[in-house]
Structure 1
């Protein structure tokens, strides 16, 4: 019995270790890629000028963004710095429950993107904690906003979160029980308990009949 229990617990223990590592690897990839490319942009591209890459499909346009993703709410950098720190803290706190690969990918993309822009706000001009985020990707056919790799990580993570919600995937692995499933399980448990109770009542009745028969035999009743 102990060997069977240990064998069943081994995959759960392995998942508890590997899934958070996947989150960390995804977050680190997004963060490092984002910062390396931003450093290249600052060192290479002319600020405020559009550089065609694939015609009107993809262009570089280096700007320093004092707001949130996609240049939203410019001039409120310190607010987004605080919000980013809160998001990072929540993600780290949820790691203790993490057993799901899709959730690890979602949280990894979100964490890497948030840390990428947060690094800009903490280290770039005009200084901590109001540094401007480096944006440079322009796709006029899709949206007028200018964005960066960290923003792509955040948006990709949120798209994955929508899919996770649609399919009802739990952060602890497997699917979350919906109302109908929970009700069915409750009915099954209630039915099992009722059946067990009926069996418990039947056994004493049978014992009583056996006892009466024994008494008759002992008294000589034919």
Structure 2
């Protein structure tokens, strides 16, 4: 009873006051349904009247901490380490991309191959830096505009998700029959596949709207709350 009284004496939003005024009968009394809404809050996610403490709040950001750590820190770290490895040891980076026939790789690496490895490492590192700076700006300057934040983050993550599928798919396709001989895979090939999935799965969950603000789902709910 005390809890209900506390809720009924709480100040009402202007739109709710107007709603109650329009529903007041000729006897000056508020209907039973409206009295119930004074005690309970209509919970947007479930569409029912619930005590305010039991009504979950919709997410308020399109880039919560989990996704920021994965895409804004973890991915740039991976790509930067890949670039550093290509710069300081391009031959190992090249030789462990795929299994070799009996006898192993040649002792010398052609100059064209070295240049290609360095260029690929640079591209990977650049993508990581783009992630860091774009997502940092979104998190810092668009925190109060989650709908716009979602659009910018989505514009970055959509091509990267496509790249995840193509990266893993093309790698496995190019390996030929060696794709099944996982015991012969080198360390860098394993890193390529495992880290590829570690980025692809969170990107899929982001696009599914799991654990983040989705404007189509949460935008109008936030206005009602």
Taking structure 1 as the reference length, the TM-score comes to 0.31
- Flag the structure with more relative contact order, 1 or 2, with Cα contacts below 8 A and sequence separation at least 6: 2
Q: Select the structure that is richer in strand.
A: 1
